[in-house]
């Protein structure tokens, strides 16, 4: 993965994502990145001539890591039989993981940036599809019929609830919502 | 509504929202706002001493307008009997309206900013609750039992699908997803 490397480029990308998460895109300056990554200002402009290049590369590297992480999670659930309660619990854990660290604001930053910058849309699309694939794996483990049809709806619901949680500071009951949706999809409610 | 006024303050807020939507928070400078609003630089700093003040006021004014708009829509549906197809169609129209103008990126900018700035969370919360209230009005018109229980899930699903649409440029079938959810909630599927 790009962001586990120890070279200057990886350090810069990691620092950029960290700063995007904690301070937001407007506050990300080369000076801050240099301080956070422990590299020189020259090293940043050598690797990334413009700030747009840097931001794009950082968000793409986030997607690379995220899709690898989600693929691993999906593999774990591919050959298991899950109960609805276990699936809701798993989703709650993924949702929690997504929301509460600085770096985890990154997907939402990515999505909003991609709304303006068409060059970011393929990376954004890959990210959503990785969530779809994880959801399909969980739905298969649950024995849900035609999981591909319901997966994008479930992913949208979790993303929306995460965004509400992030933006209000209030808890949202992701597990309960997912359970309702899964019961509806499974026809077991 | 704040952003329909013709005074300098309203013009500045309107221009800020417009620029946030088209260029994003990082690109919003006082110089650009002055050009877009047709006011002097001094007028901006007179009304808003810091950029944080300005951004906060712009996003709060957006929420004021949005909640007023949603309240009107909710009123229209309060005394009607709707079919599921009409409800899905209505949701699709609201969703479409939300996604495809520059200003309509504003709610997502607001939510992400509120993730970092606790002062913005009450405005963000008001915005989500206005969507809940509209959804409850639609669900009541549909004769759905206990609409308050399902409304936040529906709102999250539509927000998530909108975000995916915005960030990938691809169409997402919001109407079909809402129909599935409404059928599940209404027990008519």
The residue among A163, A180, A184 with the most chain B CBs within 10 A of its CB, best to mutate, is: A163
Gap between the Cα atoms of A144 and A167, Å rounded: 32
Q: In this complex, do A177 and B152 lie within 8 Å of one another by their Cβ atoms?
A: yes
Q: In this complex, do A166 and B118 lie within 8 Å of one another by their Cβ atoms?
A: no
pLDDT tens string B99-146: 445 556 777 888 888 888 888 889 889 888 888 888 888 788 777 788
Residue among B157, B161, B167 minimizing CB distance to A121: B167
Minimum mean pLDDT range among A60-74, A89-103, B33-47, B161-175: A89-103
* Residues in chain A within 8 Å Cβ distance of B112: 24, 105, 108-109, 112, 166-167
Predicted pLDDT at A188: 42
Predicted pLDDT at A182: 66
Q: In this complex, do B160 and A164 lie within 8 Å of one another by their Cβ atoms?
A: no
Q: Which band of pLDDT confidence, cut at 50, 70 and 90, is reported for residue B188?
A: very low
Q: Which band of pLDDT confidence, cut at 50, 70 and 90, is reported for residue B3?
A: low
Gap between the Cα atoms of A98 and A71, Å rounded: 15
Tokens of residue B176, six digits: 């079909």
| pLDDT higher than threshold 80 for residue B165 | yes
Q: In this complex, do B115 and A166 lie within 8 Å of one another by their Cβ atoms?
A: yes
Gap between the Cα atoms of A1 and A14, Å rounded: 11
Residue of higher predicted confidence among B169 and B81: B169
The residue among B20, B112, B150, B181 with the most chain A CBs within 10 A of its CB, best to mutate, is: B112
Tokens of residue A124, six digits: 């954004």
A6 alpha carbon, distance to own chain's centre = 22
B146 three-class SS: coil
Q: Which sign does the torsion angle of CA B174, B177, B180, B186 carry?
A: negative
Mean pLDDT confidence for B85-99: 66
Residue among B112, B128, B153 minimizing CB distance to A112: B112
Q: Which of A153, A141, A163, A159 lies closest to A184, judged by CA?
A: A153
| pLDDT higher than threshold 70 for residue B40 | yes
Predicted pLDDT at B186: 54
Q: In this complex, do A109 and B108 lie within 8 Å of one another by their Cβ atoms?
A: no
Predicted pLDDT at B118: 86
Residue among B24, B163, B170 minimizing CB distance to A116: B24
Q: In this complex, do B115 and A105 lie within 8 Å of one another by their Cβ atoms?
A: yes
Predicted pLDDT at B13: 92
Among chain A residues, CA nearest to B176: A153
**Host H or E run for residue B148:** helix B147-168
DSSP letter at B32 equals H
Mean pLDDT confidence for B83-91: 73
Predicted pLDDT at A94: 64
Gap between the Cα atoms of B85 and B176, Å rounded: 10
Q: In this complex, do A24 and B152 lie within 8 Å of one another by their Cβ atoms?
A: no
The residue among B18, B25, B55, B115 with the most chain A CBs within 10 A of its CB, best to mutate, is: B115
| pLDDT higher than threshold 60 for residue B152 | yes
Predicted pLDDT at A184: 62
What pTM does this model have? Answer: 0.80
DSSP states along A48-84: -SSHHHHHHHHHHHHHHHHHHHHHHHHHHHHT----H
* Residues in chain B within 8 Å Cβ distance of A189: 184
Phi/psi at A7 (5° precision): -75, 170
| pLDDT higher than threshold 90 for residue B183 | no
Predicted pLDDT at A183: 63
Question: pLDDT truncated to tens, each residue of chain A (189 aa)?
Answer: 455 677 999 999 999 888 887 777 767 889 999 999 999 999 999 999 988 888 888 888 888 887 888 788 778 777 677 777 777 777 776 665 554 455 567 778 888 888 888 888 998 898 888 888 888 887 887 777 888 888 888 888 888 888 898 889 887 777 777 766 666 665 543
| Domain at B2-186: CATH architecture | Orthogonal Bundle (1.10)
């Amino acid at each position: 993965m790009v962001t586990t490397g120890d070279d200057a480029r990886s350090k810069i990308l990691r620092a950029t994502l960290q700063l995007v998460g904690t301070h937001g895109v407007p506050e990300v300056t080369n000076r801050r990145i240099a301080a956070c990554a422990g590299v020189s200002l020259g090293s940043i402009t050598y690797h990334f001539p413009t700030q747009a290049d840097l931001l794009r590369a950082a968000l793409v590297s986030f997607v690379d890591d995220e899709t690898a992480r989600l693929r691993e999670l999906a593999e774990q659930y591919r050959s298991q039989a899950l109960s609805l309660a276990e699936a809701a619990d798993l989703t709650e854990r993924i949702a929690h993981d997504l929301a509460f660290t600085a770096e985890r604001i990154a997907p939402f930053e990515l999505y909003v940036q991609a709304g303006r910058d068409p060059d970011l849309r393929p990376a954004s699309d890959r990210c959503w599809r990785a969530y779809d694939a994880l959801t399909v794996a969980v739905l298969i483990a649950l024995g849900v019929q035609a999981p591909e049809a319901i997966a994008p709806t479930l992913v949208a619901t979790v993303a929306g609830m995460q965004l509400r949680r992030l933006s209000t500071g209030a808890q949202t009951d992701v597990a309960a919502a997912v359970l309702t949706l899964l019961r509806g999809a499974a026809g077991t409610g």
